[in-house]
Amino acid sequence: MATRDPKHIQKALQAFTELASTKVNNVPYLLAMGQAFMLLKQTPRARNQLKRLTKVEWSWELSEDLEAAWLLLADVYIKSGKYDIASDLLQRCIKYNQSCSRAYEYMGYIREKEQSYHDASVFYDTPGSTRTE
């Protein structure tokens, strides 16, 4: 998939599909399938795979893959203007990883689009820093 060649991505996608069929809701396979569909510009199919991961219970072993999936899905929702759903996913990222800078950046972007500039500045501010109001 790293080559970004559609033929190679299709081949990888086929392999992931076969692997995912053996294990239901296997987080790494579903994430890889979602990423492959995004590279192929098949956003609805990517969204469908990634949505399956929103129902998976968080664990340390799966934390990095779940965070990546939630961020990618949030990006899909942001691009389609569904800010409330994206915010829920981003809050979940922040809940489990308070240093997830991309989640804070996306939250700031959403607040900007909603013309809530003060709230946007809070999210753009470095997490954990002290602020004076």
Mean pLDDT of all residues in 8-21: 88
Distances (CA, A) of 32 to 36, 43, 68, 101, 110: 6, 14, 10, 22, 26
Dist CA 130 CA 80 (whole Å): 34
Nearest alpha carbon to residue 41 among 4, 87, 96, 93 = 4
- What are the pLDDT digits (tens) for 94-108? 999 999 999 999 999
Is residue 99 within 8 A of residue 109, CB to CB? The reply is: no
In CATH, the architecture of 6-124 is Alpha Horseshoe (1.25)
Residue 40 confidence (pLDDT) above 60? yes
Mean pLDDT of all residues in 65-78: 97
- What are the pLDDT digits (tens) for 27-36? 999 999 999 9
In the chain, domain spans: 6-124
**CA atoms within 13 A of residue 115's CA, in its CB half-sphere:** 0
Amino acid 132: pLDDT: 42
Dist CA 120 CA 7 (whole Å): 41
Amino acid 9: pLDDT: 93
Dist CA 37 CA 49 (whole Å): 9
What's the CA dihedral at 55, 39, 44, 114 to 10 degrees? Answer: 80
Between 129 and 12, the more confident residue is 12
